Every structure is written in structure tokens, then in C-alpha cells.
């Protein structure tokens, strides 16, 4: 098993306490109402979590993928959907800006994002470009001191209430002619076109975004034109490692709830925990969880040490996403009829877990990434 430094232990304790007080008590309510946990985000800001990978210079915690994965896991044990919104803010937006933006852009945007004054997100997926991340249709055309963006993005986490979005758009004819922009929701031509209703992760607001002659100042271009692929892929790798922490948290929640339930619930004159088929399910869930942790923690540490292997995140996400969904289904089965009722949390765990097999790259795309690396297949 992994050993933690004293600082990491303190971080785990602090995040666990925050999750217990501000996430867990409202998880069922916010799932039902599809509402955002504003209070919890403010508390995250107070702990420095909203800029977990950013420099202290901007108010961040200056921590790595390993600590971020631990935080995701502990938060997701209490409320996976609030944790998903946290990931979109802290990794897809804040980390992206911190890693790739100019000093002026960092000074302008990071302090307010890290303090929780602004909510951030990232806009990549489009109605016709999901798994094909380079098949973007949203275009940005430079006109004088502004870029004019036209297009649509969909399934955007934090879309309904977000203030700042990292947006990818085409700026040339080639598939790889992709540029990155910091877009404020107040910019002319930006519109939240539709809030989306979902099966799970319902406390993580999601929307379709429209860019209709959206005016973006040239100084909001991150880096150079047509030069976004490398940092896009690096941030995706980090996202897939850290988002795997959410699957770890869901699986841990399933295991903890089921372990208590089968000891308390009696059938045929004895606790469910005395039946070998029940023991088998619980034992396998625990084993899968430890295996998932070993994979994710190792990948996170390698990422922090500078390893650029693109399969790090793909392997983490593929294994833990399947693990989380399986744990949710098994938890429902262990509870029987109770597991199918909204009175118990395991049906929510299962609904939340399923997104992990789709978002941030589907299971199928993860397998392709891993196979291409193993077989030394180059994309033409």
C-alpha cells in the first residue's frame, strides 16, 4: 500500500472533513433538484483546493497530480457530481491557464478563479466532435484586435453558471490547426443555449454553449495560433488521471455502504454477510478498489515526475471507470429491492459512475490510445 507524507495526511483529513460537512448532507437533495453546491465551492476555496495545482503566487496550493487524485477520491466518496464540477474548474480551467497562459493572463484570471469568485470550465466537445477531439467545427477568425468565434459546444460542465471558459477552436484548414482561447461569459456573442438534464452527475450543471460572432480580444489567445495540440493532450492526460479519483471515490462509497448494510440486514435468520455469494461480491469490490488505487496513485506520481506517457491517464480511466460502474451495479444487487429505491444512495452511485465510462474520453477511445502505444501505431 502507498504511504503518505504528513502534509498529504493532513490534506486527506481536511478534505474528508469538508466532504462530510458540506457535500454528503446535500448530495441527495442536489441530485434531485439538479442544483450546484455553491457553499461547498466556497469552502474548497478556503482550503486552497480551487487552485490545487497552481502556484501560491496566484493563491494556489502548488500540489501535483497525486494530491489532486487523493482530493478527488475523498470528495467523490461524499458527492461525485459536485466533485466533477470541481474537476472542471480546477483542472480543465485553472490548471490549463496556469500551465499554458501568459503571465498577464494568469494575473488577470487565476486569482478570481482560485478564490471562488469566478467559476470556470472547459469547452472542447461539440455536437459533431466528441471522441474525435480534432474534428472541431467551431472557428475563430482574427479581425483586427479581436477573434470572432462561431460554433457550438455541448456537454460542458459548469456551463450554466460558468464565468470563464477555456475554449478550443479551429484557426486553420488542417485538423491540427487548433487554438485555445479564454472566453468570459460576458463577452458579446456568448450564450448558454440550453441547460441539459442528465441521468447522473445531476449536481454538476451541464449545458450547451453557443458562440455567435463571439468577440474575444486577441490577448485572450493562449499561446500561439494553431499550437494547442500538445498542451491539449497533456491536460487531457492529467484530467484522466485525476478524474479516475472520482471512480475510486464512488467505488469506496459503494464498498463502505454495502459492508454496513450486509452486516445489519438479516435474511433466513442470519446477516447477509454470512452468505458466501455476498462475501464474494464484497471481497471483489475491495480488491478492485485497491488495484485501482495502486494504478492511479502510481500514474499520478509518474506524471508528477515528468513522465509524458499518454497511456498513463488512459489506463487509469479505463480500469477505474469500469470498476466504478460495476461497483454501483453490484451495490444495487447486494441491497436487493432497497438498492433500486431512491431512499438509498447506491442507485445514485451507479448513475454517477456511468459517466466515467463516457466523459473525458470513452472506454473505447482509452483502449485505442493504449493499443496504439503498445503496437507503435502512429496516427496519419
How many C-beta atoms lie closer than 10 Å to residue 115's C-beta? Answer: 16
- Rounded mean pLDDT of 9-18? 98
Domain boundaries, the chain: 6-119, 121-222, 229-374
Q: What is the pLDDT of residue 26?
A: 98
* Fold of domain 229-374: Butyryl-CoA Dehydrogenase, subunit A; domain 3 (1.20.140)
Q: How many Å apart are CA 371 and CA 140, to the nearest integer?
A: 34
Percent of the chain topping pLDDT 90: 94
Tell me the catalytic residues: 239
Name the least confident of 124-138, 152-166, 339-353: 124-138
Q: Residue 192 CB: number of other CB atoms within 10 A?
A: 16
Percent of the residues in the chain that have a pLDDT greater than 70, as a whole number: 99
Which pairs count as long-range contacts for 125-129, CB under 8 Å and 24+ apart, including other chains? Answer: 125/153, 125/154, 125/155, 125/156, 126/151, 126/152, 126/153, 126/154, 127/152, 127/154
Please determine, for residue 380, whether its predicted confidence score (pLDDT) is greater than 60: no
Q: Given this model, what pLDDT does residue 218 score? A: 98
* pLDDT > 80? residue 1: no
* Per-residue pLDDT reduced to its tens digit, 208-240: 999 999 999 999 999 999 999 988 888 999 999
DSSP per position, 95-164: IHHHHHS-HHHHHHHHHHHHTTSS-EEEE--BTTBSS-TT----EEEEETTEEEEEEEEEEEETTTT-SE
The highest-level CATH class for domain 6-119 is mainly alpha
How far apart are alpha carbons 91 and 239 in whole angstroms? 7
Give CA–CA dist 339/333, Å, rounded. 7
Band of residue 269 on the pLDDT scale cut at 50, 70, 90: very high
Quick one: pLDDT at residue 231? 84
Residue 318: per-residue pLDDT: 98
pLDDT at 266: 96
d(C-alpha 182, C-alpha 85), whole Å: 18
Mean pLDDT of the chain: 96
Do residues 180 and 232 touch, judged by C-beta distance below 8 A? yes
Strands 139-143 and 270-271, sheet pairing: unpaired
121-222: CATH topology? Butyryl-CoA Dehydrogenase, subunit A; domain 2 (2.40.110)
pTM above 0.95, yes or no: yes
User: Which cell goes with 201?
Assistant: 452527475
- Name the band, by pLDDT with cuts 50, 70 and 90, for residue 379: low
CA 94 remoteness from chain centre: 13
Exposed e or buried b per residue across 301-325, where buried means at least 16 C-beta atoms within 10 angstroms of its C-beta: bbbbeeeeebbbbbbbbbbbbbbbb
The answer to whether the beta carbons of residues 84 and 355 sit under 8 Å apart is yes
Residues 6-15: what's their mean pLDDT?
A: 98
Would you state the pLDDT for residue 40? 98
pLDDT category, 176, cuts 50, 70, 90?
Answer: very high
Amino acid at each position: 500500500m502507498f504511504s503518505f507524507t504528513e502534509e498529504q495526511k493532513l490534506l486527506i483529513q481536511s478534505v474528508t472533513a469538508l466532504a462530510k460537512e458540506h457535500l454528503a448532507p446535500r448530495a441527495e437533495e442536489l441530485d434531485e433538484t439538479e442544483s450546484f453546491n455553491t457553499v461547498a465551492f466556497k469552502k474548497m476555496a478556503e482550503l486552497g483546493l480551487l487552485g490545487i495545482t497552481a502556484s501560491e503566487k496566484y493563491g494556489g496550493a502548488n500540489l501535483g497530480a497525486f494530491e489532486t487524485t487523493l482530493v478527488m477520491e475523498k470528495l467523490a466518496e461524499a458527492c461525485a457530481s459536485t466533485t466533477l464540477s470541481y474537476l472542471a474548474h480546477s483542472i480543465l480551467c485553472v490548471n490549463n491557464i496556469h500551465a499554458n497562459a501568459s503571465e498577464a493572463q494568469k494575473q488577470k484570471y487565476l486569482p478570481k478563479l482560485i478564490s471562488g469568485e469566478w467559476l470556470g470550465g472547459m469547452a472542447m466537445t461539440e455536437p459533431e466532435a466528441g471522441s474525435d477531439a480534432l474534428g472541431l467545427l467551431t472557428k475563430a477568425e482574427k479581425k483586427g484586435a479581436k477573434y470572432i468565434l462561431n460554433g457550438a459546444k455541448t456537454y460542458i460542465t459548469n456551463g450554466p453558471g460558468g464565468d470563464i471558459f477555456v475554449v478550443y477552436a479551429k484557426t486553420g484548414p488542417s485538423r491540427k490547426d487548433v487554438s485555445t482561447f479564454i472566453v468570459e461569459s460576458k463577452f458579446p456573442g456568448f450564450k448558454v443555449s440550453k441547460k441539459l438534464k442528465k441521468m447522473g452527475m445531476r449536481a454538476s450543471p451541464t449545458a450547451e454553449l453557443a458562440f455567435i460572432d463571439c468577440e474575444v480580444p486577441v490577448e485572450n489567445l493562449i499561446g500561439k495560433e494553431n499550437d494547442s495540440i500538445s498542451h491539449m493532450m497533456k491536460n487531457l492526460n492529467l484530467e484522466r488521471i485525476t478524474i479516475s479519483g472520482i471512480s475510486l471515490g464512488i467505488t469506496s462509497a459503494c464498498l463502505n455502504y454495502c459492508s454496513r448494510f450486509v452486516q445489519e440486514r438479516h435474511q433466513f435468520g442470519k446477516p447477509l454477510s454470512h452468505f458466501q455469494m455476498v462475501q464474494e461480491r464484497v471481497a471483489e469490490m475491495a480488491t478492485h478498489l485497491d488495484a485501482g488505487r495502486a494504478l492511479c496513485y502510481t500514474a499520478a506520481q509518474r506524471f508528477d515526475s515528468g513522465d509524458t506517457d499518454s497511456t498513463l491517464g488512459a489506463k487509469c480511466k479505463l480500469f477505474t471507470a469500469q470498476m466504478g460502474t460495476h461497483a454501483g451495479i453490484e451495490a444495487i444487487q447486494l441491497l436487493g429491492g432497497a438498492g433500486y429505491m431512491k431512499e438509498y444512495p447506491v442507485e445514485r452511485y451507479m448513475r454517477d459512475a456511468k459517466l466515467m465510462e463516457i466523459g473525458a474520453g470513452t472506454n473505447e477511445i482509452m483502449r485505442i490510445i493504449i493499443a496504439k502505444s503498445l503496437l507503435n501505431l502512429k496516427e496519419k
